[in-house]
């Protein structure tokens, strides 16, 4: 590596060169940046060991339903294009789908590869764990609010996993707005995953055909108890944040059987 990467005659200090692959220009990390920095960046990204095996190529396209397989193939292809085009892109990714369809696998795979091949300063954050850390900070038993949220809002590339999960109090929604708006205003690239879709879905095991009864709002409850239809993403995080997410990200929907359940019956591992 050059003593000063800014002196590199290949990339002129940008850290990237442009190559043409199959007729498409992609940004590639310059050879002047190949050193031990990638390993340090991977450690700093806080990727859980359970996801250490995740790669884009290792994402398995499998489902008993043809439509689900097509969505999985498209998700894998768009993730590859996202990685190849980084940092020459303006939008992040929003993976939407039910449990066990591979959303976290693809999100982490993209993060890992961008750190390893393009030196991206990235961070993995599970939203529920972020909330728990902040709650602990109020008791003085951990890091301060600024120490917790600083890396989340400032990382060049963030994976925010499990968006909309857990009990969403007003305080949690305000926290979510703060994180998303800070990254939106700074034009930071973010990859989100969520188990909630953009339209009401029947509970697992019920047919998908048809729409929710006229005028139905999944978040509402009547005297008989919760409606049987699952909530939408907007119900979970508010219409305002849903709108901002769709401006920040390309939406990628995933469907299919739960890979964890399938893998346990076959002795496989899948995220």
Cβ pair 104, 252 in contact under 8 A: no
How sure is the predictor about 208, in pLDDT bands with cuts at 50, 70 and 90? very low
Percentages (nearest 5) of helix, strand, coil residues in the chain = 40, 15, 40
d(CA 248, CA 237): 15
Contact 110, 92 (CB under 8 A): no
Average of pLDDT values for 238-255? 95
Q: What does pLDDT average to over the chain?
A: 82
What count of Cα atoms within 13 Å lies in the side-chain half-sphere of residue 64? 4
**7: pLDDT strictly greater than 70:** no
Q: Find all residues with CB under 8 Å of 247, minimum gap 6, and list them.
A: 184
How many residues are there in the chain?
271
Provide Rg for the chain, Cα atoms.
20
Rounded CA separation 243/51 (Å): 30
Q: What is the predicted pLDDT for the residue at 220?
A: 36
With residue 203 as reference, give the H or E element that holds it.
Answer: none
- Mean pLDDT across 254-269: 65
- pLDDT of 205 reads 52
More confident residue, 146 or 16: 146
Q: Comparing C-alpha atoms, which of 213, 192, 195 is closest to residue 204?
A: 195
More confident residue, 217 or 232: 232
- pLDDT value at position 127? 96
pLDDT surpassing 50 at residue 122 = yes
User: What DSSP string runs through 29-86?
Assistant: E-GGG-STHHHHHHHHTT--GGGTT--STT-----SSHHHHHHHHHHHHHHHHHHHHT
Mean pLDDT over 16-31 rounds to: 74
Q: Which domains does the chain have, with CATH numbers?
A: 1-34 (no CATH), 36-197+232-266 (3.40.50.300)
Enumerate helices (H) and strands (E) in the chain, giving the number of each.
9, 9
| 70-85 per-position pLDDT tens digit | 999 999 999 999 999 9
Strands (E), the chain: 16-21, 24-29, 92-97, 122-126, 157-161, 189-194, 221-222, 225-226, 249-254
Q: Is the pLDDT of residue 95 over 80?
A: yes
pLDDT band at 25 (very low <50, low <70, confident <90, very high): confident
Asked if the model's pLDDT at residue 258 lies above 90, the reply is no
Place of tokens 């909309």: 164
User: Taking residues 180-194, what's their average pLDDT?
Assistant: 96
Higher local confidence (pLDDT), 136 or 189: 189
Q: Is the pLDDT of residue 120 over 80?
A: yes
pLDDT at 228 over 50: no
pLDDT tier at 175 (50, 70, 90 boundaries)?
very high
**Does 148 have pLDDT greater than 80?**
yes
Q: What is the pLDDT of residues 46-59, one digit of tens each?
A: 999 999 999 999 99
CA distance 46 to 124: 6
In this structure, what DSSP letter does residue 6 have? G
Percentage of residues in the chain having pLDDT higher than 90: 59
Using CA atoms, how far residue 216 sits from 4, 201, 220, 230, 235, in Å, is 61, 12, 8, 11, 12
pLDDT attached to residue 16: 73
DSSP state of 231: P
pTM of the model: 0.78
């Amino acid at each position: 590596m050059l003593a000063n990467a800014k002196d590199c005659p290949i990339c002129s200090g940008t850290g990237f060169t442009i190559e043409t692959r199959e007729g498409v220009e992609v940004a590639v990390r310059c050879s002047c940046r190949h050193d031990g920095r990638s390993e340090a960046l991977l450690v700093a990204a806080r990727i859980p060991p359970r996801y250490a095996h995740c790669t884009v190529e290792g994402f398995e396209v499998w489902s008993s339903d043809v439509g689900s397989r097509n969505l999985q193939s498209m998700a894998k292809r768009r993730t590859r294009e996202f990685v190849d085009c980084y940092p020459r892109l303006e939008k992040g990714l929003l993976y939407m789908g039910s449990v066990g369809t591979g959303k976290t696998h693809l999100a982490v795979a993209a993060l890992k590869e961008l750190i390893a091949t393009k030196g991206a300063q990235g961070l993995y954050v599970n939203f529920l764990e972020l909330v728990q850390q902040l709650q602990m900070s109020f008791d003085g038993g951990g890091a301060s609010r600024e120490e917790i949220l600083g890396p989340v809002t400032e990382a060049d590339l963030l994976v925010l996993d499990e968006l909309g999960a857990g009990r969403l109090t007003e305080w949690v929604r305000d926290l979510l707005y703060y994180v998303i708006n800070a990254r939106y205003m700074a034009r930071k690239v973010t990859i989100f995953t969520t188990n909630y879709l953009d339209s009401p879905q029947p509970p697992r095991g019920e047919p998908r055909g048809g729409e929710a009864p006229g005028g139905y709002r999944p978040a509402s409850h009547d005297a008989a108890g919760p409606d049987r239809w699952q909530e939408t993403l907007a119900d979970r995080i508010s219409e305002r944040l849903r709108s901002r997410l769709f401006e920040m990200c390309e939406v990628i929907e995933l469907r299919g059987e739960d890979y964890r359940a399938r893998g346990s019956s076959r002795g496989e591992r899948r995220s």
